[in-house]
C-alpha cells in the first residue's frame, strides 16, 4: 500500500538555523502531497499541498517541491523561529476513502542560539 | 478558527468500561473521519463516513464503532476499553483532499 517515510523523531536546532525535514513517499498513481503542522494541544492543520510534479507549496516561510523522480517532498525553512516548535507531518492522499496517509511525524525543537 | 469540535477533551476510565467521543463539524463537508494518534505521535486512519457509507480500516478492533446522526456528526464509541486504547482520538472532515482536524480527545485507560 501507499506509505510515507519522513525524518524520524525530533530535530533540535538553533533559532535562525536552516531546517530540512526529509519526506519520501511510495504510491501507485499520482498522489497529492501535503505538509501538516501540529502545535501542542491542537489538531494537525494544513501547512500546504502540491498536486503535480515540480509544483512548489509554501506557507509561513516553509516550502517543499513535489519531485516525482525522487518521490520526495522535503520540507525546508531558511530561518527557524521559536514559534515553529511543533510536530510536522508529511502526508499523501490515499485510495482509502479519500483519507490521508501520514508519515511518522517530526518534532522540531528550536533552541536559543 | 475551529470548525471541528470534539468532546470531551480528556477522559480517564478503567479497563472494560464503555467510552464515547463526540464530533461535530460546521464546514458542511460530506466526509468525516476518525484517526488514532498514539504516544509516538503516529496517526492512523480508523474510519471514514460519507453519505451513510462507512469504510473501516481492517486493523481497527471490533470494539470500536462510529455512530452518525447526520453528516455534521460522527461519534466514536468504544465498547470495552483496553489499555492499548490509550491515545488521542482525532476527528476530521474533508473537502477534496484536504483534512480539517479537531483538537483531539485524549483517552487514558487505567
Quickly list DSSP for chain A: --EEEE--SEEEEETT--EEE-EEEE-SS---EEEEEE-TTS--EEEEEE-STT-EEEETTEEEE-BTTTTB--EEESS--GGG-EEEEEEEE-SSTT-EEE---EEEEEE--
pLDDT given at position B5: 97
Looking up cell 482520538, which residue turns up?
A: B89
pLDDT given at position A97: 57
Which residue, among A30, A27, A29, A35, has the nearest Cα to A6 in the 3D structure?
Answer: A35
pLDDT given at position A29: 80
Query: B98 vs A49: CB contact, 8 Å cut-off?
Result: yes
Q: Determine the Cα–Cα distance for residues A82 and A111; give it in Å rounded to an integer.
A: 7
Residues 73-102 (B) with a CB less than 8 A from some CB of A: 90, 92, 94, 97-102
pLDDT of residue A17 exceeding 60? yes
The chain-wide mean pLDDT, for chain A, equals 93
Task: Identify the three-state secondary structure at position B58.
Answer: coil
Please count the residue pairs, one from chain A and one from chain B, whose beta carbons lie less than 8 angstroms apart: 63
CB-based contact, A34 to chain B, within 8 Å: yes
pLDDT given at position B50: 87
Q: Determine the Cα–Cα distance for residues A66 and B23; give it in Å rounded to an integer.
A: 33
pLDDT in tens, B26-74: 999 989 999 999 999 999 999 999 877 888 888 999 999 999 989 899 9
pLDDT given at position B52: 76
The chain-wide mean pLDDT, for chain B, equals 93
* Selected residue of A31, A47, A96, A98 to mutate for chain B interface (largest B Cβ count, 10 A): A98
Long-range contacts of B82-87 (CB under 8 A, 24+ apart): B82/B15, B82/B109, B83/B15, B83/B109, B85/B109, B86/B39, B87/B36, B87/B37, B87/B38, B87/B39
Higher-pLDDT residue of B95, A77: A77
- Nearest-neighbour CA in chain B from A98: distance (Å): 7
pLDDT of residue B81 exceeding 70? yes
Residues 87-106 (A) with a CB less than 8 A from some CB of B: 87, 89, 93-94, 96-102, 104-105
Amino acid at each position: 500500500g501507499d506509505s510515507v517515510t519522513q525524518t524520524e523523531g525530533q530535530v533540535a536546532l538553533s533559532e535562525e538555523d536552516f531546517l530540512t525535514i526529509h519526506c519520501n513517499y511510495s504510491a501507485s498513481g499520482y498522489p497529492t502531497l501535503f505538509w501538516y503542522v501540529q502545535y501542542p494541544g491542537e489538531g494537525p492543520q494544513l501547512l500546504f499541498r502540491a498536486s503535480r510534479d515540480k509544483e512548489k507549496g509554501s506557507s509561513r516561510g516553509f516550502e517543499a517541491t513535489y519531485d516525482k523522480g525522487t518521490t520526495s517532498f522535503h520540507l525546508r525553512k531558511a530561518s527557524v523561529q521559536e514559534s515553529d516548535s511543533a510536530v510536522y507531518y508529511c502526508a499523501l492522499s490515499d485510495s482509502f476513502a479519500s483519507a490521508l496517509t501520514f508519515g511518522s511525524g517530526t518534532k522540531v525543537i528550536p533552541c536559543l542560539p | 478558527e475551529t470548525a471541528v469540535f470534539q468532546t470531551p477533551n480528556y477522559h480517564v476510565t478503567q479497563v472494560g468500561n464503555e467510552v464515547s467521543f463526540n464530533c461535530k463539524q460546521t464546514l458542511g463537508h460530506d466526509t468525516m473521519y476518525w484517526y488514532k494518534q498514539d504516544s509516538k505521535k503516529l496517526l492512523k486512519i480508523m474510519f471514514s463516513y460519507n453519505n451513510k457509507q462507512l469504510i473501516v480500516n481492517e486493523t481497527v478492533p471490533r470494539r470500536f464503532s462510529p455512530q452518525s446522526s447526520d453528516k455534521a456528526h460522527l461519534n466514536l464509541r468504544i465498547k470495552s476499553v483496553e489499555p492499548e486504547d490509550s491515545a488521542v482520538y482525532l476527528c476530521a472532515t474533508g473537502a477534496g483532499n484536504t483534512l480539517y482536524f479537531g483538537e483531539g480527545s485524549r483517552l487514558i485507560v487505567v
